Amino acid sequence: MIQNLASVVIGYLSGSVPYGLLLARAAGLGDVRKIGSGNIGATNVLRTGNKTVAGLTLLADVLKGYLPVLVAAWAFGSAAALAAGLAALAGHIFPVWLGFKGGKGVATTLGVLFGWSWPVALIAAATWVAMFAARRISSLSALTAAVVAIPVSWFLARDEFLAIALVAVVIFITHRANIGRLMRGEESRSSFSKKS
The band of 36, judged by pLDDT with boundaries at 50, 70 and 90, is confident
Counting beta carbons within 10 angstroms of the beta carbon of residue 6, is it exposed (0 to 12), middle (13 to 18) or buried (19 or more)? middle
Long-range CB contacts for residues 173-177, cutoff 8 Å, separation at least 24: 174/93, 174/103, 174/104, 174/105, 175/104, 175/139, 175/142, 175/143
pLDDT value at 190 more than 80: no
- Say if residues 149 and 168 touch (Cβ distance below 8 Å): yes
**150 phi, psi to nearest 5 deg:** -65, -60
* Residue 195 predicted with pLDDT over 60: no
Q: Does the pLDDT at position 8 exceed 70?
A: yes
Instruction: Give me the pLDDT at residue 191, please.
Output: 55
Instruction: Give yes or no for a contact between 31 and 43, defined as CB atoms under 8 angstroms apart.
Output: no
> pTM higher than 0.75 for the full model?
yes
Give the pLDDT confidence score for residue 196 in this predicted structure.
35
Looking at residue 22, the DSSP 8-state letter turns out to be H
pLDDT digits (tens, 9 = 90+) for 71-105: 999 999 999 999 999 999 999 999 999 999 999 99
Rounded CA-CA distance 69/174 in Å is: 22
Tell whether the torsion through CA atoms of 180, 182, 188 and 191 is positive or negative: positive
Residues 6+ apart with CB under 8 A from 149: 113, 120, 123, 124, 127, 164, 167, 168
CA angle at 109 for the pair 105 and 112, rounded to the nearest 5°:
140
What band does 37 get if pLDDT is binned at 50, 70 and 90? Answer: confident
d(CA 163, CA 124) in angstroms, rounded, equals 15
In this structure, the chain runs to a length of: 196
pLDDT at 149 over 60: yes
Question: 40-44, 78-82, 140-144: which has the minimum mean pLDDT?
Answer: 40-44
- Average pLDDT score over the chain: 94
Please name which of 6, 111, 19 lies closest in space to residue 69, comparing C-alpha atoms.
111
Contact 11, 85 (CB under 8 A): yes
pLDDT tops 60 at residue 24:
yes
Q: Of the given ranges (16-30, 36-50, 62-76, 83-97), which has the lowest mean pLDDT?
A: 36-50
